[in-house]
Amino acid sequence: MIFADPPYFLSNDGISVQSGKMVSVNKGDWDRSQGFEKDNEFNFNWLKACQDHLTDNGTIWISGTFHNIFSVAQNLTELGFKILNCIT
């Protein structure tokens, strides 16, 4: 079993409110979007690496947000994974 919490690509110089104060949403360069194609390629590569280590009856659980989960799902499908559930 693999549990993955990949970058959500949320670090876009935006702001949020936390405890009544405006705060930056930037987490670091690792979470900054490089554009659709590069983000999609990144997701494909880490999912392929996971696939290479999973046994035939292994499972992968992936956390995400609407910012990254559609790219993750597309790449899972392209790699031949079977998506059993989407938990919200």
Per the domain annotation, does 83 fall within a domain?
Answer: no
Per the domain annotation, does 86 fall within a domain?
Answer: no
Average pLDDT, the chain: 93
Number of domains making up the chain: 1
Q: What is the pLDDT of residues 9-68, one digit of tens each?
A: 988 888 889 999 999 988 889 999 999 999 999 999 999 999 999 999 999 999 998 889
Q: Is 62 exposed, middle or buried (0-12, 13-18, 19+ CB in 10 A)?
A: buried
CA 88 to CA 69: how far, in whole Å?
11
Q: What is the pTM of this model?
A: 0.85
Residue range(s) defining the domain that contains residue 58: 14-78
Per the domain annotation, does 46 fall within a domain?
Answer: yes
